[in-house]
Amino acid sequence: MKETGNIELGVKTRSRQSITTPRAKISLSAEQIISDYRLAVRSRAASELGRREVLAGRAPFGIFGDGKEVAQLAMAHVMRPGDWRSGYYRDQTVMLAVGTTTLEQYFAQLYADADVARDPFSGGRQMSNHYATRIVDEQGHWRDLLSAVQVGSDFSPVAGHMPRSVGLAWASKLYRESAVLRDVAKGFSRNGNEVCFTTIGNAAAAEGLFWESVNAVGVLQVPLLISVWDDGYGISVPNELQMTKSSVSAALAGMRRDGGGPGFEIEVVKGWDYVALCDTYAIIAERVRREHVPAIVHVIEMTQPQGHSTSGSHERYKTKERLTFEVEADPIRRMREWMIREDIADAATLDDFEKHDRSEVEQIREKAYATFQEPIFRRRDEALTLIAAAAMESGVALDAQANELRDAGDPLNHRAVYVAAFRALAALRGREGPARAELAGFVRTYREENETRYNSHLLSESDRSPLRVRPVAPEFPAKPETIDGRLVLLRCFDANLTRDPRIVILGEDVGRLGDVNLVYEGLQEKHGALRITDTGIREATILGQGIGAALRGLRPIVDIQYVDYLLFALQLASDDLATLRHRTAGGQMAPVVIRTKGHRLQGIWHTGSPMQMLLGTLRGIHVCVPRDMTQAAGFYNTLLRSDDPALVIEVLSGYRLKERVPSNIGDYTLPLGVPELLREGSDVTIVTYGALCRIALEAAQDLAAADIDVEIVDVRTLLPFDVGHTIVGSVKKTGALLVVDEDLPGGASAYILQQIIELQGGIDHLDVGPRTLTARANRTPVGVDGDYFSKPSREDIFVAAYAIQRERRPDRFPSLDMELDR
């Protein structure tokens, strides 16, 4: 290394101490450049060792950031504490550079080490290179998010993180422009100066979510800096088959900002050109941060020295020329050549560094592996001791189980230990003795331990869980006002917006119109357009906008106009929102409330009740199905005071129905998982929810006239479902169960049966088989008759309940001479 003075880029002088990039005039000292280079080398070594470990069978799967190192060094230079990264599985270099990961943690995650102290990103739940910062502490309370760069939890569905990135950037706009947020910004924002850096592969940029997000951000004008890592391929499929004009920046050209107008800053830069990259990121990030304009940096000529991932070999699909190019355009190689050319360091010095750094990375890896294995070894030794003692005590030969465990491979897994202990215990069935009892205790506690290790944190475990919100009953004055259901909601949202400045409502037609059912009428004028905010028709990014904002401490209510259109956002709701807490082992939360409406109104796409689809995809989100707006408001009051995401599906046909309005409209809180008995009866338990509650109550009158006394239970929330197991009490009393559901046959009704019949033990109390009455399998045709003949009706409920009673007492209940055609 030679040192004296400065050089202008490309202008050779005798000075070699620092480099000033041409446009940005940032100065990089030789020391900094060398340190960058060494980090790139360490990162590459980590990629190579990672691949080796997977191929040797010591790690489950590997996907690495080799070939993407140098651009990430440049990006790291402009990231500041409080900024966010929301990206994908190629980003280990930037994570190492900004200090949000260490190599120890990188290897721990590679090995699927489930200790959160070692893999703080996912506690062994996610594949390698899936990062996250722990934005909440062990108690589930917010940490100071301004002390370091934060990372929105990475996941594998490519481009799925883009909608959330929109929200992470949007939060900066809210924190900068919304006066009411000043007092609550501490720990979350410094005047909205935070930039969200998002990264995406060239091929993932072909996904719809990318385009929807880009458009949303272009409209919103928020500080999102999108880097597209372009290595020419998406696994084996080249750019020609991925992108119009084979180039995302060419395809996006129409979004480019003209002068100071709206749009994007768009830059194209080569992935091996360290100086140009530093220059570009310095210029662009400064503009994004100061002016809150979005930008796209298209980084081309990136490489994949080891191919896509450990599941294949790129020699199979890349041409010879491309493979040669990948060697020649290797960013580390080019950076090194440039450093030598510029006399920043000579080859021998760099060789020394490289040797030293590579061996250090290998040592870190080795230690990470040993640390990962050590507690499992301890459990194995314990198990072997217990098995030996139990064999001795019982005289039963347990050598096979013990030997299998002794021979269990590299790595040793908890599974192998558990299986051996369990099989030994199974072989001792019918035996008694303290050693056997101790082995049984080990199996039980070990199972519980692994239950926590792998299956905890689906939902909040904090003191702010919605399940811990103290229920407050609605209060009705002596002469309660009776108003339209929509006004009950309006007053509820108004009260909550007034109470908590962090609450924002976003969606289609929510602002100027005040919702298609006028639920927010006048609220935008009162609370401002930043808090009741109209969006384009883009359900996925409406939800993503909410998720990102929630990650930054805000309380978004995401408005999806009809439940039928939630499908557009369902991938995200399922993959991102529902898994967030679990996949970060309790490290992140996004308490988004999704408000939508469904059940019956008109036609195929305004009558949906696709509960089974939601139950199957949204574990990790509470699902509330209130029967009226007073109930809905009570759920909103609970959810907006707690820390889990939730979906509330209002009854579409209920906005104009009159309801009594509680005097504590913004303050009463309904508990989740607590059904309500709507009608007492002795013959048949009818379990239902939502719009069907009213119809079931009407049918109950007809049934009473026919001498059948039904009990009606409104489950109120499907997730969680009757946490106190109260419904079985009703079944015990009546001996008969009829589940009435607007979902299709075998849909939510099957879930409800599983809960009551199996989980609550309802089977033991039935004297007649359980029944379901559901909608037909087809969608609902338009018009009164289409609705009537495809969804459960008052008369259908009559027939279904009557059939149950007739089955029990044919003498008392003569045939109706008709049966439901199901």
Ligand X SMILES: Cc1ncc(C[n+]2csc(CCOP(=O)(O)OP(=O)(O)O)c2C)c(N)n1
What residues line the site for Mg ion (CB under 5 A)? 201-203, 231, 233
Residue 204: which of Mg ion, ligand X, none does it interact with, CB under 5 to 8 A by kind?
A: ligand X
Helix, strand, coil percentages in the chain from 3-state DSSP, rounded to 5: 45, 15, 40
Distances from the Cα of 250 to the Cαs of 243, 244, 247, 300, in angstroms? 9, 8, 5, 12
Q: Please say whether the beta carbons of 646 and 624 come within 8 A.
A: yes
Q: Strand 646-651 and strand 295-300: pairing? A: unpaired
Q: Considering CB under 6 A, how many residues would be counted as binding ligand X?
A: 14
Calculated CA dihedral for residues 408, 414, 420, 426, nearest 10 degrees: -160
Between 203 and 277, name the residue whose CB sits nearer to Mg ion. Answer: 203
Beta bridge mates, 234: 237
Q: Strand 84-86 and strand 6-8: pairing? A: unpaired
Residue from 121, 131, 170, 229 in contact with ligand X (CB under 6 A) = 229
Between 208 and 810, name the residue whose CB sits nearer to ligand X. Answer: 208
Residue 751: which of Mg ion, ligand X, none does it interact with, CB under 5 to 8 A by kind?
A: none
Q: Which stretch binds ligand X (CB under 6 A): 150-158, 336-344, 357-365, 745-753?
A: 150-158
Best CA proximity match to 554, nearest among 524, 521, 589: 589
List alpha helices for 456-528, DSSP H.
Answer: 485-499, 523-527
Position 204 contacts ligand X (CB under 6 A): yes
Residue from 60, 81, 157, 263 in contact with ligand X (CB under 6 A) = 157
Residue 715: which of ligand X, Mg ion, none does it interact with, CB under 5 to 8 A by kind?
A: none
Q: Strand 224-229 and strand 233-234: pairing? A: unpaired
Interatomic CA distance for residues 404 and 410, integer angstroms: 13
Q: Which stretch binds ligand X (CB under 6 A): 200-208, 466-474, 630-638, 649-657?
A: 200-208
Q: Please say whether the beta carbons of 172 and 195 come within 8 A.
A: yes
For residue 306, what are the contacts with CB-CB under 8 A and spacing of at least 6? 47, 48, 51, 64, 66, 314
Position 203 contacts ligand X (CB under 6 A): yes
Q: Which two tokens stand for residue 32?
A: 């900094």
Between 201 and 587, name the residue whose CB sits nearer to Mg ion. Answer: 201
Residue from 24, 180, 235, 516 in contact with ligand X (CB under 6 A) = 235
Instruction: Tell me the closest approach of the beta carbon of residue 326 to Mg ion, in angstroms.
Output: 12
Residue 219: which of Mg ion, ligand X, none does it interact with, CB under 5 to 8 A by kind?
A: none
Between 574 and 772, name the residue whose CB sits nearer to ligand X. Answer: 574
Residue 553: which of ligand X, Mg ion, none does it interact with, CB under 5 to 8 A by kind?
A: none
Residue the block writes with tokens 């400064």: 286
Residue the block writes with tokens 């939508």: 596
Residue from 120, 192, 201, 501 in contact with ligand X (CB under 6 A) = 201
Q: How many CB atoms lie within 10 A of CB 253?
A: 11
Position 66 contacts ligand X (CB under 6 A): no
Chain residue whose CB lies nearest Mg ion: 201
Position 308 contacts ligand X (CB under 6 A): yes
Residue 123: which of ligand X, Mg ion, none does it interact with, CB under 5 to 8 A by kind?
A: none
Instruction: Tell me the closest approach of the beta carbon of residue 57 to Mg ion, in angstroms.
Output: 27
Instruction: Tell me the closest approach of the beta carbon of residue 255 to ligand X, in angstroms.
Output: 19
Residue at 311: amino acid letter: S
Q: Is the link from the previous residue into 434 a cis peptide, with omega within 30 of 0?
A: no
For residue 421, what are the contacts with CB-CB under 8 A and spacing of at least 6? 383, 386, 387, 401, 439, 442, 443, 446
Q: Please say whether the beta carbons of 575 and 160 come within 8 A.
A: yes
Instruction: Tell me the closest approach of the beta carbon of residue 87 to ligand X, in angstroms.
Output: 10
Position 62 contacts ligand X (CB under 6 A): no
Q: Please say whether the beta carbons of 661 and 608 come within 8 A.
A: no
End-to-end CA gap in the chain = 83
Between 309 and 780, name the residue whose CB sits nearer to ligand X. Answer: 309
Instruction: Tell me the closest approach of the beta carbon of residue 309 to ligand X, in angstroms.
Output: 7
Residue from 42, 77, 90, 502 in contact with ligand X (CB under 6 A) = 90
Q: Which stretch binds ligand X (CB under 6 A): 23-31, 202-210, 537-545, 734-742?
A: 202-210
Instruction: Tell me the closest approach of the beta carbon of residue 603 to ligand X, in angstroms.
Output: 31
Q: Which two tokens stand for residue 429?
A: 């069935």
Residue at 466: amino acid letter: P
Check 527, 599, 606, 622 and give the catalytic one: 606
Between 206 and 417, name the residue whose CB sits nearer to Mg ion. Answer: 206
Instruction: Tell me the closest approach of the beta carbon of residue 210 to ligand X, in angstroms.
Output: 9
Between 142 and 211, name the residue whose CB sits nearer to ligand X. Answer: 211
Instruction: Tell me the closest approach of the beta carbon of residue 162 to Mg ion, in angstroms.
Output: 15
Q: Please say whether the beta carbons of 267 and 234 come within 8 A.
A: no
Residue 675: which of ligand X, Mg ion, none does it interact with, CB under 5 to 8 A by kind?
A: none
Residue 308: which of Mg ion, ligand X, none does it interact with, CB under 5 to 8 A by kind?
A: ligand X
Beta bridge mates, 738: 686, 771
Chain residue whose CB lies nearest ligand X: 201
SS3 (DSSP) at 497: helix
Between 132 and 203, name the residue whose CB sits nearer to ligand X. Answer: 203
Q: Which two tokens stand for residue 101?
A: 């990961």
Residue 765 bears catalytic tag: no
Beta bridge mates, 483: 659
Instruction: Tell me the closest approach of the beta carbon of residue 321 to ligand X, in angstroms.
Output: 18
Distances from the Cα of 80 to the Cαs of 267, 375, 478, 537, in angstroms? 21, 37, 58, 33
Residue 329: which of ligand X, Mg ion, none does it interact with, CB under 5 to 8 A by kind?
A: none
SS3 (DSSP) at 598: strand
Between 200 and 740, name the residue whose CB sits nearer to Mg ion. Answer: 200
Residue 157: which of ligand X, Mg ion, none does it interact with, CB under 5 to 8 A by kind?
A: ligand X
Between 233 and 668, name the residue whose CB sits nearer to ligand X. Answer: 233
For residue 162, the number of C-alpha atoms closer than 13 Å in the C-beta half-sphere is 29
Instruction: Tell me the closest approach of the beta carbon of residue 233 to ligand X, in angstroms.
Output: 6
User: Residue 180 class from Cβ within 10 Å (0-12 exposed, 13-18 middle, 19+ buried)?
Assistant: middle
Position 231 contacts ligand X (CB under 6 A): yes
Query: Which helix (H) or strand (E) segment is 701 a member of?
Result: helix 692-705
Residue from 70, 158, 168, 692 in contact with ligand X (CB under 6 A) = 158
Instruction: Tell me the closest approach of the beta carbon of residue 89 to Mg ion, in angstroms.
Output: 11
Residue from 156, 244, 663, 682 in contact with ligand X (CB under 6 A) = 156
Position 209 contacts ligand X (CB under 6 A): no
Interatomic CA distance for residues 565 and 546, integer angstroms: 16
Q: Please say whether the beta carbons of 693 and 711 come within 8 A.
A: no
Between 277 and 504, name the residue whose CB sits nearer to ligand X. Answer: 277
Instruction: Tell me the closest approach of the beta carbon of residue 158 to ligand X, in angstroms.
Output: 4
Residue 156: which of Mg ion, ligand X, none does it interact with, CB under 5 to 8 A by kind?
A: ligand X
The residues annotated as belonging to the active site are 606
State the residues that interact with ligand X by CB under 6 A. Answer: 90, 156-158, 201-204, 229, 231, 233-235, 308
